[in-house]
Amino acid sequence: MDKNNTENQNKKLAKSSAFLYVRLLITTLIGILSSRIIFNALGPENFGLFLIVGGIVSLMNILNSSMISTSNRFISIELGKQEKGKLGLIFNTLFIIHLLLAVFLILLGESIGRYYILNFLKVSKNLLPDALNILHFSLLSTALLTIIVPFQALITSHENFKTISIIEIFQSITNLIFVIIMSLFVENKLFVFSLLSMVNIVIVSIIYYLYCLRKYPLYIQLKFYINKKNFILVLKYKIWILIGVMGSMTVKQISAIIINSFFGTIINASFGIASRINEYLWTFVKNLNQAAVPQIMKSHGSGDKNRSMDLLYNLSKYTFFVLLVPTVPILFSIDKILYYWLGSVPNYTTEFAIIMLIHGLVSCLVSGFDPTIQATGKIKIAQISYSIITIITIPVTILMFKLNFPPYTISIIFIFSEITNLIVQTRILKKLVDFKIVEYIKVTLIPIFFVIICILPTILLNMLFGETFIEFLIFSLLSIIFTLLVINYVGLNDIERTFMKNMVLNKIKNKV
């Protein structure tokens, strides 16, 4: 790829990221407001119950993101080869596989989920009917989220992030409206909230389908014809991806169950609130990943391995910096944030939140690894390794809790699991592609290390401010500015600084 083409691709990546960050700002603000209304309307016990049973939808967001990225792999590879004639067949194959998967998940969830609720869930007996209703609505939502994955992937592969941003903003606004409606009910709030959450997903699923039908009619060939070669190829790939993702999903759901067994639904609420904070911040990373993954796939599909490796090294660094900016003020002001956000805060919420934020930063270090491995198609070893590393956290957690370790120990164990996964994946990448550990350390880890060292004076800055809301806002603003300056002058090289400077100046000129 020549220099001009690479520059155009970088500009496209920056533009895509800009659309996604506008979406991020709006959806995060709406999400924070919605979470406060939900928590206050339901109360800690009902909120904890919704999180542990309705967590199926949250887990599906993990599966959904992963399945979109793997569907992106096949669609983007075809686009990279510029052989669009096969894209319709690939899309049809992906749709059939996801349809079958949706049916399987409903059957599995209804059998195992119902059995768990009736026999093991620690909750008041009068809440059991609500728990079962949450399960049914969550499973239907799960099925829809699974079925629309190929449609989302089709939009993402074409890097049409403006449309994705508009749809997700609409989804957030609709969710807020439904949350307000739920809060007005005197009784059956949990039932109403679960039902309206499902209705929101139904509406968004229809929008994705209709948009793709209008925008990409040549590819939307929903026939129950199975091309055996494509079906086996995609199915084998999906199965290995599912092994990795289901390992992660299983661990997250079992973690909630373990916490419920040892500590009850109130601590489930603490765990859930901290998870929400982490999810809001992780959307910063998700946005950049979402914009970069199609380019990694297309670069690999077109044979431009150098571009693919550059994206891998830099994506891990950029995602870390993007997450670091909001994380710094939150880490030092978490108690104030929780108080202003929720009012009454369950025990251990602060500890969970801090450790999860650190875990999120560690997770950024492998941001470019998965799409690069997936682009090669040789994912078996990576998925098995990830599943084993992740699942091991469960017996270790149970042992720690039996030894009377505090609830947030589980989040610390997850950090060590992520570090282990990073080490293993670097070895796998070295065998599959032209991945150089020395280059990764030089381009990614060393700049990150020096940025962390340079932002430590923020601890002293925090000591200068008191407990009032105005002082909290001033500290947050100053810490964000300071972190951005450190990233610019310490974390970026001359070429990156020049690119960022020109991009900002061009935006200013275009508006003037």
Average pLDDT rounded to a whole number, residues 198-214: 91
Flag whether pLDDT at 450 surpasses 90: yes
pLDDT bucket at 55, cuts 50 / 70 / 90: low
Q: With contact defined as beta carbons under 8 Å apart, do 72 and 153 qualify? A: yes
Does the pLDDT value for residue 113 go beyond 50?
yes
Beta strands in 45-144 (DSSP E): none
Predicted confidence (pLDDT) per residue in 174-194, tens digit? 988 888 888 887 677 878 888
82 pLDDT more than 70: no
Q: How far apart are CA 50 and CA 54, in angstroms?
A: 5
Inform me whether the pLDDT recorded for 206 exceeds 90: yes
Sign of CA dihedral 141, 144, 146, 152: negative
Look up the pTM and report it.
0.68
Axis-axis angle for helices 305-332, 349-364 (nearest 10): 160
Average pLDDT of 73-102?
75
Predicted local distance difference test score (pLDDT) of residue 199: 92
Is 200 in contact with 171 (CB distance < 8 Å)? yes
Distance CA 28, CA 242 (A): 28
**pLDDT confidence band for 7 (50 / 70 / 90):** low
Quote the pLDDT of residue 224: 64
Closest listed residue to residue 366, CA positions, set 443, 444, 304: 444
| Sequence-ordered list of residues with C-beta below 8 angstroms from that of 248, at least 6 positions apart, any chain | 62, 386, 387, 390
Average pLDDT over every residue of 270-275: 81
Nearest 5 degrees, angle CA 468-CA 470-CA 471? 65
Question: pLDDT value at position 185?
Answer: 73
CA–CA gap between residue 45 and residue 189 (Å, rounded): 13
* pLDDT confidence bin for 451, thresholds 50/70/90: very high
**Is residue 14 very low, low, confident or very high in pLDDT (cuts 50, 70, 90)?**
low
Give mean pLDDT, residues 214-240: 75
pLDDT at position 53: 66
- Residues near 199 by beta carbon (within 8 Å), at least 6 away in sequence: 178
Name the phi and psi angles at 437, rounded to 5: -60, -40
Residue 511 pLDDT: 44
- 393, pLDDT greater than 70: yes
- Above 90 in pLDDT, residue 449? yes
